[in-house]
Copies of this chain bind each other. A is one copy, B any other.
Amino acid sequence: MSIEHTVVLNTARSPYARLRPIPVSAVQLKDGFWRPRCAANAAAGIPQQFDILKARGLLDNFHRVAAGEEVITQEFFFRDSDLYKWMEAAAYALLDGDAPVSAIRAQLDEVIDAILPAQSDDGYLNTFFGNDPTRRFHNIAVDHELYCAGHLIQAAIAHHRVTGERRLLDAAIRFADYLTTVFGPGLRQEAPGHPEIELALIELYRETNERRYLDLAGFFLERSGTRDAERFEGHAVRAAYCAAGAADYVLETGDEGWRASLERRWQDMVRTKLYVTGGIGGRYHGESVGMAYELPNQRAYAETCAALATIFWNWRMTQIAGEARFADELERTLYNGALSGVSLSGTHYFYINPLTDHGQDEGDPWYPWARRAPYQRQTDYACNCCPPNAERFLASLPGYFASTSEDGVWLHLYDAARIDWWLADGTPFSLMQQTRYPWDGTITITVEPEHPAEFALYLRIPAWAQAVAVIINGAWADHAAPQPGTYLALRRTWQPGDTVTLALDMPVTLLEADPRVPETRGSVAVRRGPVIYCAEGVDHEGADVRRVRLNAAVPFTPHHEVDLLGGVTVLDGAGRLPESEELPETLYAPRGARLPVDLRPAALRLVPYYAWANRGPTSMAVWLPLDEPIRI
């Protein structure tokens, strides 16, 4: 394996990148927060998803194309991409020390053996449109052919970077080369309806140094119509993939117009269209972000793929300039709106991530592919985009921990982990993080350059931190007070064995939303560190926790429960719950005319939102109404 190259984003030669991600293979997770999740993904989720995709006939589709069948009937026209995303997941999983590597390797080879013979001589490859060239590219605004191509290319790059093999990469290159003969100036002028190919082509440009891939990506981006957009809008996943692709384009070209466009759309997203969990997509219709402040909780769409998409976008923004606001948002989404999409077992997924649910959902006949009764995590979905997308992201997660720059090393994510890599000048170094993060805000970092070396260690000080202390080799560091929401630069000559302790105050914080968000009025969301909490009925004698009243005068007490939900810090507080579960028969009644709703004092226990719905169907609420007048 050629572990030096297993980066999820290769900005080593990107002229407008300040940062260069450190590869997946250079980060070894220790027994902290993420290792069990990545292990469950690699050891259970990925092998299981292979069986599911195979049983659904996704490999057969390729066999049938290879055998010359003209039309392979499929429910959706983007099925191939499920398999490609799984391949990317499987490739990264080969780097996971907890993974059944040989089994996954065999599965991967089986898939590649199925795919390659199905490729047309000219490079085209798609089982829905099959062997008949006259069926290709009739409607790229809808048909996802370029989306599937993008996922093939990404899978091929990951496979090549992890295994060193070229056969899948060569197939992807043939497809990409074919695309450059179909689309572009003087050729077909359309843009794909679902962006994804842009990200893939730019990474392929980085892999091959073939400028035509970058140009084609730029061509598609230009035709996306988003360059002059003032707002972040439309289909949530598409909008964020499109933005992530544009960020890739900025990394390579420094294009100021695109940079300004990304800034406008990012601001619009985080100021008006982002759930407190980092999810996006407040509207079922068109799986879209809706209008400003359109953030319903029960009817949140907040697709898992959309959360992942903003992570991809924020990751690229982080590499451009090293501004912590992007990595802060990445962290918010990572621990909440993205992780909520995967069960603790690593085998069951959410497509939609509501912020409250009554646990006895009647299902939604309009969204049978994404939500059925009772609402709970599923191994797969009719529209199965999210499960393998979550798998590929989790398998590559170590690649999101750190970056290097000309002048040092950047730590973005905190967890028990060891990083082995090189400084820009070629000096080998190791960084060992010891921490119970996100349950505890103390991170001890041991710095081990091969020899004493002057460089800056950049530590992300999360915007949520209210007090920060930095101790180097047991002494308080003599520098300006660390500013939350920035990277703290510790610039010195580091000796092997130097230690840095970063202590982030992690109080329980009650968050209010902008008063223009209709459903959260008079309510608070509870956050500790990067983790957003929720109440679940199962912790409250089965009560409908959507009717909780929170007593904000009683502070929450954090309490670590080793045996609960894979080990979580719960928050114990006080409030009130209805005396009975009886609910009114009439939809509207004069105030006071209903049966009196007796609220009884009750202990409240909050658990991390990401861990909800791991104990069977139960009511859940992130936003908790306060037992006091509405203030804002």
Contacts and interface: CB of A to CB of B under 8 A. Distances in A.
B629 A292 contact: no
Interface in A147-198: none
A82 interface: no
Interface string A493-532: 0000000000000000111111111110110110000000
Nearest to A235: B366
A521 B298 CA distance: 13
A462 to B, nearest CB: 13
Nearest to A295: B587
Interface in A283-302: 283-286, 288, 290-294, 296-299
Contacts of A521: 521-522, 625
A625 to B, nearest CB: 5
Interface stretch (A46-54, A307-315, A545-553): A545-553
Interface stretch (A208-216, A400-408, A589-597): A589-597
Contacts of A366: 285-286, 288
A325 to B, nearest CB: 11
A540 to B, nearest CB: 16
Nearest to A361: B291
Nearest to A272: B587
Interface stretch (A416-424, A445-453, A578-586, A604-612): A578-586
B291 A512 contact: no
A632 B518 contact: no
A274 interface: yes
A591 B515 contact: no
A67 interface: no
A310 to B, nearest CB: 14
Interface in A225-242: 231, 233-234
A271 interface: yes
A627 B70 CA distance: 67
A585 B272 CA distance: 9
Given A585-B271, A627-B629, A632-B597, A546 B591 contact: no
A369 B364 CA distance: 25
A591 B628 contact: no
Contacts of A522: 521-522, 625, 630
Given A518-B519, A630-B625, A588 B296 contact: no
B588 A513 contact: yes
Nearest to A294: B299
A234, A583, A629 — most chain B CB neighbours (10 Å) = A629
Contacts of A516: 358, 546, 583
Contact of A284 (B231, B285, B518, B590): B285
Interface majority SS on A: helix, strand, loop or mixed? loop
A629 B632 contact: no
Number of identical protomers:
2
A547 B584 contact: no
B511 A297 contact: no
Contacts of A513: 587-588
Contacts of A519: 296, 518-519
A362 interface: yes
Contact of A549 (B272, B583, B630): B630
A276 interface: yes
A631 interface: yes
A471 interface: no
Contact of A594 (B285, B364, B512): B512
A362 B546 contact: no
Contacts of A297: 518
A547 B517 CA distance: 11
A127 interface: no
A240 B630 CA distance: 37
A524 B11 CA distance: 56
A536 to B, nearest CB: 17
A555 to B, nearest CB: 12
Given A588-B276, A590-B509, A629-B628, A515 B284 contact: no
A515 B583 contact: yes
A434 interface: no
A433 to B, nearest CB: 27
A356 interface: yes
A324 to B, nearest CB: 15
A302 to B, nearest CB: 14
Nearest to A524: B591
A270 interface: yes
A474 interface: no
Contact of A292 (B362, B517, B628, B631): B362
Contacts of A364: 291
A589 B525 CA distance: 10
A133 interface: no
A174 to B, nearest CB: 38
B525 A588 contact: yes
Given A292-B362, A626-B630, 18 more contacts: A233-B365, A271-B587, A272-B587, A286-B366, A296-B296, A296-B519, A511-B588, A515-B546, A515-B584, A516-B583, A521-B522, A521-B625, A522-B625, A522-B630, A524-B591, A594-B632, A625-B630, A627-B630
9 contacts: A270-B587, A271-B586, A276-B588, A285-B286, A285-B366, A288-B366, A291-B362, A511-B591, A597-B631
Which 5 A-B residue pairs are closest in the complex by CB-CB distance? Answer: A285-B285, A510-B591, A511-B588, A522-B522, A597-B632
Interface of A: 231, 233-234, 270-272, 274, 276, 283-286, 288, 290-294, 296-299, 356, 358, 361-362, 364-366, 509-519, 521-522, 524-525, 546-547, 549, 552, 583-591, 594, 597, 625-632
